[in-house]
Chains A and B, each alone.
Chain A
């Protein structure tokens, strides 16, 4: 009954360090998404993958890269972390199609010092 699993749950980085946030889903969903949540800003889309082998930029992609490793896994990489990337990151997945609910992980809380 895992659903969407994100690792790590918490992380503190120094400016300039790199890190990869992992996301895996066990629901055989085709579509996966990365969002960030900031106080006063709501959730914003970073990148999405409509299906295995495809990735596309969302509203706020600068400073991030993604990899859709296989159907289950969708990772988000920060190559050179900046304090502005301090946020809570959520991964989500859904079936293909316009009217499918998205299922969210519990988030990764990332602080950049």
Chain B
């Protein structure tokens, strides 16, 4: 059974810092890995999708990497802002449930002014 783990569970940083969120998964037979943002009381917003054949994806201040062979992904956030405060979820698309997502428990990020 695929297990997705995110470390740390919570993180607090001052505004302006660069930071890295970590995600690991136990089975490398994935189709892709996705990073989401979840604000309190809200749904999930897709941030980045990395296909299994890719090594990284970038969107603005966000950069996600994927090392499928070692079962690891990182989400790098540059020059953090208070508006980045949210829970960040990592998920993989892998068998046996079609193309459904298998989620980690998330990292709760607080960026302080």
Contacts and interface: CB of A to CB of B under 8 A. Distances in A.
Interface in A56-113: 56, 58-59, 90, 92, 94, 97-107
Contacts of A53: none
Given A98-B93, A99-B49, A104-B44, A56 B34 contact: no
B105 A102 contact: no
B100 A33 contact: yes
B71 interface: no
Interface residues of B, number: 25
Contacts, number: 67
A31 B99 contact: yes
A106 B105 contact: no
Contacts of B101: 33, 35, 43, 45, 92, 102
Interface string A22-53: 00000000010101000011111100101000
Contact of B103 (A43, A56, A97, A105): A43
Contacts of B93: 98-99
